[in-house]
Amino acid sequence: MSDWKWNRKYAAFQEPSEKVNDPAIGNRLATLLSNSSILAKDKEFVSSLDATWKRFSSLTKRQYDYFEVVEKRYDPVVVSQVAVERQKWIDAWDDWKRFRFQLCCKYYFQTEYFRDLAERGIKDQNFIPTEKQFNAMCENNYAKRLIDNMTNTKFESGDVVQSRSSAYLDQGMVGTVLGALDDITRQSANIGGRKYRVLWMTTGQEQVVLEKEIRKYRNK
């Protein structure tokens, strides 16, 4: 079987990886590894590159490009800029941001998303996330709907409401709102997902319903 046919049948033909063999790379790797502030995951990556360098005296172009990204992260100028931006964020941290962050922590701790960050926020009430972490967890569309549901109450205790037709409710039942649920573990981040306790006048039974399942009673 020809080489061309073998490659076509068993493996895609690949061009040899471009190599970078600048003699200064070895010292740069060693300098970065000696940095006491380097994160464990970055140190593991750089250590792997260092082993490759010592064996082959070169890195692939892709390895080198990512090494430059990590190296820049620990550049004194960049570190100083990050520290300044971090302090600005801390100075701007207020009760409204803290409220939203704690709300999202309690919600996301129940899910598979942002689990580590949520757990840290719950355990340490004084913890301030980075701006990037806060935006990722609290400024996504899902979190915004959750916060809106928990901060904007459409119905108050004592309001008389009637049910809309839904998978769980018959249309036209009349009841009294007993209050909105504040337990975040029972909330929905969907539009109209705030939950209320309603006492149905027709059955005398109390039920938890979604905001989108009820409306103000209209006495015709």
How much is the pLDDT for 204? 87
How much is the pLDDT for 4? 44
Average pLDDT over residues 170-181: 86
Specify whether 172 is located in the same domain as 144.
no
Specify whether 166 is located in the same domain as 212.
yes
How much is the pLDDT for 182? 75
Confidence of residue 5 (pLDDT cuts 50, 70, 90): very low
User: Considering the chain, what is the average pLDDT of its residues?
Assistant: 86
Residue 44 to residue 63: CA distance in whole angstroms: 14
Q: Decide if 185 is inside a domain.
A: yes
Pick the range with the lowest mean pLDDT from 62-71, 103-112, 113-122.
103-112
Radius of gyration of the chain (CA): 28
pLDDT tens-digit readout, 145-156 = 888 888 878 888
Q: Using CA atoms in the order 157, 162, 168, 171, what is the torsion angle rounded to 10 degrees?
A: 180
Q: Decide if 26 is inside a domain.
A: yes
Terminal alpha carbon distance of the chain? 87
How much is the pLDDT for 185? 59
Specify whether 67 is located in the same domain as 18.
yes
Of 122, 150, 178, the last residue of a domain is 150
Specify whether 68 is located in the same domain as 34.
yes
How much is the pLDDT for 58? 92
Could you give the number of structural domains in the chain? Answer: 3
Specify whether 136 is located in the same domain as 183.
no
Q: Decide if 119 is inside a domain.
A: yes
Confidence of residue 114 (pLDDT cuts 50, 70, 90): very high
Q: Decide if 3 is inside a domain.
A: no
Q: Decide if 81 is inside a domain.
A: no
CATH of the domain at 168: 2.30.30
Q: Decide if 87 is inside a domain.
A: no
* Structural domain for 106, as ranges: 94-150
Q: Is the pTM here over 0.85, yes or no?
A: no
Of 103, 120, 150, the last residue of a domain is 150
Specify whether 139 is located in the same domain as 167.
no
Residue 74 to residue 84: CA distance in whole angstroms: 15
Q: Show Cβ contacts of residue 98 under 8 Å, excluding neighbours closer than 6 positions.
A: none
Place of tokens 């390895």: 63
Specify whether 166 is located in the same domain as 142.
no
Q: Decide if 6 is inside a domain.
A: no
Place of tokens 């981040």: 189
Specify whether 145 is located in the same domain as 186.
no
How much is the pLDDT for 6? 44
Of 112, 130, 150, the last residue of a domain is 150
Asked if 161 and 175 touch (Cβ cutoff 8 Å), the reply is yes
Give percent of the chain with pLDDT exceeding 90.
Answer: 54
